[in-house]
Amino acid sequence: MHDLSGVSRGRQRLALASSTIAFTVCFAVWTIFSIVGVQVKKDLNLNDTEFGLLVATPILTGSLIRLLLGVWTDQYGGRIVFTLVMAAAAVATWAVTTATTYSGFLWAALGVGVAGGGFAVGIAYVSRWYPQERQGTALGIFGMGNVGAAVTKFCAPWVMVAFGWQAVAQIWAAVILVTSILFGLVAKDDPVIAGRRAERRRPEPLSAMLAPLREVRVWRFSLYYFFVFGGFVALALWLPRYYMGAYGLDVKTAGMLGAAYSIPGSIFRAAGGWMSDKRGARSVMYWTFGVATLCLFILAYPATDYVVHGIKGDISFSMSLGFVPFTIVTFVLGFFMSLGKAAVYKHIPHYYPQHVGAVGGIVGLVGGLGGFVLPIAFGALNDLTGVWTSCFMLLFIVVVASLGWMHYAVRRMEGEALHRIGMTDGPALPVGDGLDRLLTQSHR
């Protein structure tokens, strides 16, 4: 672990605050098509599959670029990389206003997606300012920048109704450009980059940074993040469309109700980081997957009419979820997904302290791909099945698979750790930091 003895609390707070604000702006830009795309769908007469591809395209770019940006952050530092990412996103966002065809919007959306890569940069940058016992909380606070999705859902519909969708893109582009300039002026080089420059050391070669990606554990963490983050982004993009189609709401109301999901999925991420520091990341993941399984089972059940042939005649009744209970359940789902997002990234500096950028980049890449693939799948399932709740059926399958793999892996690792220290019999270890500490010690 790098030396933090000379780092003041003020420098730590500055790094965390500036990165969190920058990531919030990046996330607001990254999800701009969740609102702008609704008007584009009407103007171009798109079907649900085409709409799903449009809103998901920025997620593709922001996902694929995360590994590269994470490695660059490990090599050159978050201050430089984050500044350049936001500047590039500002240019791409302004370019959205020049598009007139579907293919033109797709190309512009690819450029906007660069903003999503800021997550991998911020994770590597912030983690270097804090000791291991405080990294969960710090990364959880940084992850609260997901609230940028709610900012877009609250503000963009009003701007779009008043001034048109082009004004949304222009204003969002101006904001991220200003943020880029301020971040470049205010942020400082992290302790690793500063120490490396002082000692005139070269960064690790790319092959060494990518070596951990050969471990299955990295890909297991990636599946977790595919659900907790990819599922969050997908629903953040899809819910306004869902509310408008399933419940007949207007774009402003649908945007605000969609934000009711996005907000707990963002601001409570800090609580997930704190809980991971105190109770163990694996315990938090069990709670996340368990509650999410229950919520998605409820959300996936389609509105259904039943007829029971009774003794005195037919008895008819219906089962459906009104938009008020629907919003409450999605709120709960978003809350527990936010805890899980923080818990996943608590694992990374614990197991890979020298390669947070590379490992965090690939985990973020897979998670972001979930945000790209899932909205397209939601639209395709709507077109194929004609059932609105089909999107939640798909997420239910993903969370059950994640929970099953995690439980199998935890029990297998627990057994291996017990065997290494000669405890072939005895009580099971706690699922949490106790297991993590034993596994870490047994590998040393």
Q: Where are the domains of the chain?
A: 9-307+314-443
Q: How far apart are CA 255 and CA 35, in angstroms?
A: 7
Tokens 């649908």, located at residue: 254
Q: How far apart are CA 30 and CA 237, in angstroms?
A: 10
Here the tokens at position 351 are 């197991």
Q: How far apart are CA 214 and CA 358, in angstroms?
A: 12
Q: 135: which residues sit within 8 A by CB, 6+ positions away?
A: 127, 277, 346, 349, 350
Q: How far apart are CA 379 and CA 48, in angstroms?
A: 5
**Residue 189 carries which DSSP code?**
-
Going 242 to 248 to 252 to 254, the CA torsion angle's sign is negative
Tokens 């029990």, located at residue: 411
Architecture of domain 9-307+314-443: Up-down Bundle (1.20)
Q: How far apart are CA 246 and CA 182, in angstroms?
A: 42
Residue 305: burial class (beta carbons within 10 Å; 0-12, 13-18, 19+):
exposed
Q: How far apart are CA 89 and CA 149, in angstroms?
A: 16
Q: How far apart are CA 111 and CA 318, in angstroms?
A: 46
pTM (predicted TM-score): 0.71
pLDDT at 198: 62
Tokens 């799948």, located at residue: 377
Residue 430: burial class (beta carbons within 10 Å; 0-12, 13-18, 19+):
middle
The separation between the first and the last C-alpha atoms of the chain, rounded to the nearest angstrom, is 14
Torsion of CA 293, 296, 297, 302, to 10 degrees: -170
Cβ distance 69 to 361 under 8 Å? yes
Q: How far apart are CA 424 and CA 69, in angstroms?
A: 44
Strands (E), 281-360: 304-310, 313-319
Residue 199 CB: number of other CB atoms within 10 A?
A: 7
DSSP for 131-146 reads -HHHHHHHHHHHHGGG
pLDDT at 91: 93
Phi, psi of 130 (to 5 degrees): -130, 145
Which residues face 304 on adjacent strands? 319
Tokens 């982004």, located at residue: 233
DSSP for 346-410 reads HHHHHH-TT-HHHHHHHHHHHHHHHHHHHHHHHHHHHHHH--TTHHHHHHHHHHHHHHHHHHHHH
pLDDT at 365: 81
Q: How far apart are CA 281 and CA 339, in angstroms?
A: 9
Cα–Cα separations (whole angstroms), residue 162 to 114, 118, 157? 28, 30, 8
pLDDT at 358: 72
pLDDT along the chain (444 residues), means of 10: 64 88 92 84 83 82 83 83 94 90 90 89 84 79 82 85 88 94 88 68 59 76 90 84 85 77 73 81 89 93 77 73 86 89 80 72 81 84 87 94 88 72 52 50 40
Tokens 């007469």, located at residue: 45
pLDDT at 150: 78
Q: 74: which residues sit within 8 A by CB, 6+ positions away?
A: 124, 203, 204, 209, 355, 356, 357, 358
> Of 102, 106, 391, 62, nearest to 239 (Cα)?
391
Angle at 307 (CA atoms; ends 301, 313), nearest 5 degrees: 160
Residue 416 CB: number of other CB atoms within 10 A?
A: 11
Residue 197: burial class (beta carbons within 10 Å; 0-12, 13-18, 19+):
exposed
